Chain A
């Protein structure tokens, strides 16, 4: 074999090995790998798909909860709006209210009979929900006001005001256990004056004077609750008496009880003589003019089968020794309303010392007085409320239960979401084609109404506005004195800043003595300035006492009380000059207790102090000193035998 042949063979061998090697690279490894990878990928995809669908469903569940809370927020916004004389409509489908990352709107439909249906639709994420609520409008009730005077309220020494709940037992039981006993609600649209004196006043609960007013306290006063002024107006509707056919008046004097059967009746007037009894059987509505009882007479309200409503357009007079009885002792069963007479006037309510009354008295335009020793269980609203020393009022919480100026919830349900809305699951704003920045907050989304409002602005200047509410700037309002929306009075005023109060009085420059000497300052104005500047010095008080023109007894009393305890010499001078009447001296006596002998002696000889008041002051200061006793016995106009007996007995 030569060299060329060797090379050829080598090349052939190399080529054969190369072909073998190339052939040996054929096979299914790649396919197997590919199949394995695709299997794993498929399993992962399935797992991801499962995970995604579960996540999507859980997100929808969370969105559904958010939508439900949004819808409930919408219902709450509309509900509160109804309590403020708004319509209940909040936003709309084309202009919803935005809240968080969702939106809602509420439609209100008047169903008649004071029923309003609210339907809130809310959208959050992929969820939509619709909730419905039916509410019943409610006006301010007697029960929620407690013991209330629309004008200034004055409480005298020796008065007790507390509370109980007649639905949970008797007053005596709850007084012993302390349960429900400290929730009295004493209020006024004006100022509240508590003349504690030595007998003291005990109020177990809150005392709420009117907007910007204060609670004046003298003597021993115990108030267990708050004395902060109210921040909203209280609107009181006039009693709406039915108009039955009026029969002739009744004058019952026989000892046999006269039974007035159940039903609605009208009587020109009712009078009950001494020893006589009238029984009114419930359920009954009685409309009458004057209702007068003689001492020893009784009217019994038999509420076994139903409540009794009494509408009185004249005076309600229950003197000492007469009785007004509630057969069940449940104040929620008897109500007395003082309605307007044909002449357009309102009568007065006078309850004597022997009265133990269980019921409510609604007399927003009448004077109500409770004599010393009267005991009242329930609630009372009056124009002026006078509580004589020793009167007791027990506010019944059961009267207020379920009553509120807010509407009453009648029904709540889940409503089907309208079809087109339910079908969409995209972002709510995209689904409705709305720009989020154009949506209003819930409080700004209420339906626009015609607003008439009188208010104090930021600097305390009285202002008023009449126009569309959307054009009114509520941030300028410090306090609302009265207001209405679409002619309907607001029952809850909207105050932007509860911390603001009536601005302090601006007194003129100079000293109080300068103001007294300034003839350009009137007596009423001067009184306000001097009260604001209290306590005054003895010299300033003396100059006020001697100021021409003279300050009245009440003006002097206001100034002296503000500066109490004061120099007794000034007080003695005022009494000697007959400048203080009996009632005013009585107030000052307890603001400066004990009075000096000089004051007492001057009071004994003063012609401006009534004998009854003088006797009370002397008894309260007993035992008297010898000089004072001597002044009593040598008085130029002797006291009556009865008064002297009481004074001597107190020594």
Chain B
């Protein structure tokens, strides 16, 4: 009698073909899933970091007053760095006591850096983000207001002062040097609470 073990050539060819198709499809699917997952995670992290940085900047300058915010460019001018002092309370004579000078600014490598006693020997620095784009989302360095926000060539971190309010805008990118990479822009307006004496 004949043995029934083993596969015929045809069966093997068919099986291999089906297997190949499945593997290829599976690989494509996996790549798509990874890509989507990666971009979603990226967006989520960017959003989170942008809001975190904005909250930190807001809380840092809310206790200052307009007179200590420097440079004091009024709208429509803007700046990518502010220096300020925060109120610590009143002394025995009723005069406001200000803390050590602080600054928040954008450095060339896309970093938002908070400094205490800037340019002093006892300077303290904290990097709050290193994903800041050179210019705000939609803005190009061409002397024109490209993104229609009444500001010209504003950088990735911009401060606009108007009376006692500061509007803070920040654009983060997954790859700050690649304009095509994922970008997240957030903004808020903070009213400094102290009034000048």
Interface flags for B44-56 (1: CB within 8 Å of A; 0: not) read 1100100110010
Of B48, B52, B94, the residue contacting A113 (CB under 8 A) is B94
Shortest distance in angstroms between B190's beta carbon and chain A's nearest beta carbon?
11
**Segment 1-44 of B: residues with Cβ below 8 Å from A:** 1, 4-5, 37, 41, 44
Cβ contact within 8 Å between B90 and A111: yes
Cβ contact within 8 Å between B63 and A413: yes
**Segment 90-112 of B: residues with Cβ below 8 Å from A:** 90, 94, 96
Interface residues of B: mostly helix, strand, loop or mixed?
Answer: mixed
**Segment 39-93 of A: residues with Cβ below 8 Å from B:** 43, 47, 50-51, 54, 57-58, 61, 64-65
- B193 at the A/B interface (Cβ < 8 Å)? yes
CA–CA, A43 and B86, complex, Å: 45
- A13 at the A/B interface (Cβ < 8 Å)? yes
Cβ contact within 8 Å between A50 and B41: yes
Interface flags for B154-165 (1: CB within 8 Å of A; 0: not) read 000000000000
**B interface residues, tally (CB under 8 Å):** 24
Given A410-B90, A413-B89, A51-B44 contact (CB < 8 Å): yes
Of A24, A51, A61, A111, the residue contacting B52 (CB under 8 A) is A61
Given A47-B41, A64-B55, A115-B94, A414-B48 contact (CB < 8 Å): no
Within 8 Å CB of A134, what residues of B?
A: 89-90
Residue of A nearest to B60 (CB): A414
Within 8 Å CB of A412, what residues of B?
A: 63, 87, 193-194
Cβ contact within 8 Å between A414 and B5: no
- A17 at the A/B interface (Cβ < 8 Å)? yes
- A640 at the A/B interface (Cβ < 8 Å)? no
Residue of B nearest to A47 (CB): B37
Cβ contact within 8 Å between B48 and A58: yes
- B126 at the A/B interface (Cβ < 8 Å)? no
- B113 at the A/B interface (Cβ < 8 Å)? no
- B144 at the A/B interface (Cβ < 8 Å)? no
Residue of A nearest to B65 (CB): A412
Cβ contact within 8 Å between B51 and A411: no
Within 8 Å CB of A414, what residues of B?
A: 59, 62-63, 86
Interface flags for A479-505 (1: CB within 8 Å of B; 0: not) read 000000000000000000000000000
- B127 at the A/B interface (Cβ < 8 Å)? no
Shortest distance in angstroms between B149's beta carbon and chain A's nearest beta carbon?
23
CA–CA, A340 and B71, complex, Å: 53
Residue of A nearest to B41 (CB): A50
Cβ contact within 8 Å between B51 and A58: yes
- A177 at the A/B interface (Cβ < 8 Å)? no
Residue of A nearest to B193 (CB): A412
Within 8 Å CB of B193, what residues of A?
A: 412
Cβ contact within 8 Å between B86 and A413: yes
CA–CA, A412 and B88, complex, Å: 8
Cβ contact within 8 Å between B48 and A411: no
Of B48, B52, B96, the residue contacting A410 (CB under 8 A) is B96
Cβ contact within 8 Å between A132 and B89: yes
**Segment 109-159 of A: residues with Cβ below 8 Å from B:** 111, 113, 115, 117, 132, 134, 136
CA–CA, A50 and B90, complex, Å: 44
Cβ contact within 8 Å between B5 and A411: no
Residue of B nearest to A51 (CB): B44
- A2 at the A/B interface (Cβ < 8 Å)? no
- A641 at the A/B interface (Cβ < 8 Å)? no
CA–CA, A413 and B193, complex, Å: 8
Within 8 Å CB of B88, what residues of A?
A: 413
- A34 at the A/B interface (Cβ < 8 Å)? no
Cβ contact within 8 Å between B48 and A54: yes
- A20 at the A/B interface (Cβ < 8 Å)? yes
CA–CA, A17 and B4, complex, Å: 9
CA–CA, A630 and B117, complex, Å: 94
Residue of A nearest to B55 (CB): A61
- A246 at the A/B interface (Cβ < 8 Å)? no
Within 8 Å CB of B86, what residues of A?
A: 413-414
Q: Which of B4, B51, B90, B194 has the most CB of A within 10 A?
A: B90
CA–CA, A51 and B86, complex, Å: 35
CA–CA, A285 and B101, complex, Å: 41
Cβ contact within 8 Å between B87 and A411: yes
**Which 4 A-B residue pairings sit nearest by Cβ, starting from the closest?**
A412-B193, A413-B87, A413-B63, A54-B48
Chain A residues at the B interface, C-beta cutoff of 8 Å: 13, 17, 20, 24, 43, 47, 50-51, 54, 57-58, 61, 64-65, 111, 113, 115, 117, 132, 134, 136, 409-414
Chain B residues at the A interface, C-beta cutoff of 8 Å: 1, 4-5, 37, 41, 44-45, 48, 51-52, 55, 59, 62-63, 86-90, 94, 96, 193-195
List 28 interface pairs A-B (beta carbons < 8 Å), by A numbering: A24-B5, A47-B41, A50-B44, A51-B44, A57-B48, A58-B48, A61-B51, A61-B52, A64-B55, A111-B90, A113-B94, A115-B90, A115-B94, A117-B89, A132-B89, A409-B194, A410-B90, A410-B96, A411-B87, A411-B89, A411-B90, A411-B194, A413-B63, A413-B89, A413-B194, A414-B59, A414-B62, A414-B86
Q: Given A409-B194, A410-B94, A412-B63, 12 more contacts at CB 8 Å? A: A24-B5, A54-B48, A57-B52, A58-B48, A134-B89, A134-B90, A410-B90, A411-B87, A412-B193, A413-B89, A414-B62, A414-B86
